[in-house]
Amino acid sequence: MERNALKELYIDELRDLYNAENQLVKALPKMVKAVTSEDLRAGFEEHLEQTKEHVERLEQIFSSLGEEPTGKKCKGMKGLIEEGQEMIEEEGLEDEALDAGIISAAQRVEHYEIAGYGCVRTYANILGEKEAVSLLEKTLQEEKEADKKLTELAETINLEATGENGTEQTVLSRFL
């Protein structure tokens, strides 16, 4: 049988996403603990549950392909999570600025996943993997919604981080 290079790439990228999602399942609880905004915390808790479903969907695709989902380390996600962790460990960040920084790190993660899922969904389409297309499309939409929700939360949290609602001194310090 002729080797299908696109199918190989498809499986390779699915493995990468599988590893990325599993890294995220471990990292999200740390973000839940670190943030101060209740809305943001609830958003991360919800996305953690979604992420576990994303893992299950990928497992479903792998079992229908008769392939193993493991065997790849997603270096991109590893780096993104490390940057998020650095944000959490940053000393002297005000609570609101910390939340804003964590949103920024989380949006990078979402955009990375949106790119990954967009590609594998397209490959699945070309390869005629209809069931996989609908599963990947579902996850892709959830990642996009998560990103949109983060943008909405940032609209308030970024402003709070300017100190506008804080003391006169905090406001003044912006101009110094």
How many Å apart are CA 33 and CA 29, to the nearest integer?
6
Report the sign of the C-alpha dihedral through residues 79, 80, 85, 89, in that order. Answer: positive
Name residue, tokens 């959490």: 88
Q: Measured from the CB atom, is 97 or 112 closer to Fe ion? A: 112
Residue 69 contacts residue 58 (beta carbons within 8 Å): yes
Q: Measured from the CB atom, is 23 or 37 closer to Fe ion? A: 23
The minimum distance between CB 9 and Fe ion, in angstroms, equals: 20
The minimum distance between CB 15 and Fe ion, in angstroms, equals: 15
How many Å apart are CA 175 and CA 173, to the nearest integer?
5
Least Cα distance to 108 among 85, 131, 142, 84 occurs for 84
Q: Is 121 a residue that touches Fe ion (CB under 5 A)? A: no
Q: Measured from the CB atom, is 23 or 51 closer to Fe ion? A: 51
**Part of the chain binding Fe ion (CB under 5 A), chosen from 1-9, 47-55, 65-73, 90-98:** 47-55
Q: Is 54 a residue that touches Fe ion (CB under 5 A)? A: yes
The minimum distance between CB 65 and Fe ion, in angstroms, equals: 19
User: HEC string of 52-101?
Assistant: HHHHHHHHHHHHHHCCCCCCCCCHHHHHHHHHHHHHHHCCCCCHHHHHHH
Q: What is the DSSP letter of 3?
A: -
Q: Is 47 a residue that touches Fe ion (CB under 5 A)? A: no
Q: Measured from the CB atom, is 117 or 163 closer to Fe ion? A: 117
The minimum distance between CB 161 and Fe ion, in angstroms, equals: 27
Number of residues that bind Fe ion (CB under 5 A): 2
The minimum distance between CB 139 and Fe ion, in angstroms, equals: 6
List interacting residues with Fe ion (CB under 5 A): 51, 54
